[in-house]
Amino acid sequence: MKEIITLQFGESANYVGTHYWNMQQQQFAEESSGDSNTHLAVDVFYSEDDQGVGKRGKRYTPRVLVFDKVGNFGSLGQSRHAQTEDDSKDIESEIEAAQWDGATEVHRQIPYASGAVLGTGAINELSESQVRYWSDFNEVEFNTVQSLSSVSGVEFGNSLGEMNTFQEGGEVFNGENGRDEILEGKFRVLAEACDQMQGFQVLADAHGGFAGFGAGFVEKVREEYPKSSILLYNVASGRVSDMGGAQTIDAAIGLATSLENVSAAVNMYVPSALKRLYPGVQIEECSRYQTSAFMATNVSQWSQCILAGRRSLDEMISQVTQQQYFKVAESLLSPGLQISDSKYNFGSVAGLLEQRFVASSGAVVSDLSSLAGQLVVDRGTEFSRLVRERYAATAYADLGQAVALPRSFPRRIFQGARDSVGVAGMLCTTAGTTAYVQRLHESVQVERSRHVKDYEREWIREVRGILDSVIDRYATIS
């Protein structure tokens, strides 16, 4: 078994993560019912969780650490405390029962009911106006005591209690009360329970406090596990160009610093945002519930390739990044792609990528010669039929089965989608990424900005130097 630990940092990342775990659970449900022809290795992303002493049995829960502000957990925050108290009462009851010779009867109160246990109609009745927290559409049973961690500046050593900017988030992580407690507590338990860990899947806010907090955490993970692969999905809640003032500067610094950390800590970095759509994808960009559902489809596309045993995390990263020479990857996705017509062939691929695939950072891929490394994953479309005409078998993975959509998923964002949708995807490194990094570079023109403190300016100039080197490297792809 080669386990992967998932780390989630911040509200935007947790919106994506909630949709992602809901999708994973639905896929496993399809397999267990016999409706899927793909065998999935559940142990890769899930832990077999012993619920306690006695006869309570075992369950599979996501192998994940979720970090957010305490107020963003919603009812899951209440569940975490309730489960701790419930487990303690259960242990006391079982000890008392062991000392009693007579008959016993246990009445256990359920402390929290998510959409997954309320019944088949519960999630269907959920409207977007009811979604206040990401836990409102959660369908998965987490090990709430082990997996969920609330973070506040006060609790973790910031005397002002603030955690709004990238820098403040980094200071909170490095505070005397935070770092050691996290790394030696829940993280250590998860990591040491792995028999043969292959790496980490990270979802982190692109800007704000949890961008800095997550960056600090990933650096420490790299120090602890220098040979493990780390895949980072950088989740943006909006476009840097749409922001203003100090928020623009903070967003640019957060994204730029993540890129800077790529060379030292992260093996592959995938921006996750919505920059360019096509008619088959209809998303209200002001709806975090909808945008995060699409971003989660991105994450699911590539992890499904690992679950199905078609690639390991290290193999996928090496193939796409060309042995980690190009570390900023582009995720191209086309939900609902229909190309059954025989008029489509390999010559159609570039046009389809340009016109029918949504690029995570807005990169335009109109020429296959602009690709350095690529992996095509086909889930229920015939896109793999086109690429196999020219590509070697190692360049694509045809998983056959369409993506099963959970009840909480906003199906209307994919035109014509019902219980499932076919999704074609290409994870690649491309010259088109240069435009994304250049936009970022332009956002960090801070010499004349009143929003940046004097002591920060030299550091930001160093970050711009890093971005310059990334632009130069990607300009060599032709």
**Average per-residue pLDDT in the chain?**
80
Alpha-helix runs per DSSP H in 284-443: 288-307, 313-321, 349-356, 383-387, 433-443
Give the chain's length. Answer: 478
Alpha-carbon span 374 to 433, nearest angstrom: 14
Beta strands in 341-443 (DSSP E): 358-359, 371-379, 396-398, 403-404, 420-421, 423-430
Would you give the distance in Å from CA 36 to the centre of its chain?
Answer: 24
Alpha-helix runs per DSSP H in 148-192: 166-173, 179-184, 186-192
Domain boundaries, the chain: 4-98+106-474
Closest among 37, 16, 17 to 404, alpha carbons compared: 37
pLDDT digits (tens, 9 = 90+) for 269-291: 998 877 677 778 888 878 899 99
pLDDT digits (tens, 9 = 90+) for 222-240: 999 999 999 999 998 765 5
User: Most confidently modeled of 236-245, 311-320, 358-367, 459-468?
Assistant: 311-320
In sign, the C-alpha dihedral spanning 239, 241, 244, 248 is positive
pLDDT digits (tens, 9 = 90+) for 243-262: 555 666 666 677 677 777 76
Strand order in the sheet with 4-9: 148-150, 64-68, 4-9, 199-205, 229-235, 268-272
Closest among 164, 134, 143, 142 to 152, alpha carbons compared: 164
CATH 2.30.110.10 fits 4-98+106-474, yes or no: no
Residue 348 is classified by DSSP as: G
Helix (H) or strand (E) holding 460: helix 454-474
Sole residue written with tokens 């402390």:
111
Alpha-carbon span 79 to 254, nearest angstrom: 32
pTM surpassing 0.75?
yes
Cβ(66)–Cβ(149) below 8 Å: yes
Helix (H) or strand (E) holding 406: none
Sole residue written with tokens 């919106």:
15
Pairing mode, strands 4-9 and 64-68: parallel
At position 351, the amino acid (one-letter code) is G
pLDDT digits (tens, 9 = 90+) for 367-417: 898 999 999 999 999 899 999 988 989 999 999 889 999 999 999 999 888
Q: 362 — alpha (psi -120 to 50), left (phi > 0) or beta?
A: left
Cβ(169)–Cβ(212) below 8 Å: yes
Bridge partners, residue 269, by sequence:
232, 328
At position 270, the amino acid (one-letter code) is V
Per DSSP, the residues of 221-254 read HHHH-TTSEEEEEEE-SS-GGG--HHHHHHHHHH
Whole-number Cα distances in Å, 246 to 166, 170, 255: 11, 17, 14
Query: Residue 465: pLDDT above 60?
Result: yes
pLDDT digits (tens, 9 = 90+) for 135-183: 999 999 998 888 999 887 655 545 555 688 888 888 888 875 666 777 8
Cβ(236)–Cβ(12) below 8 Å: yes
pLDDT at 137: 94
pLDDT at 117: 35
Tokens of 150: 């609330």
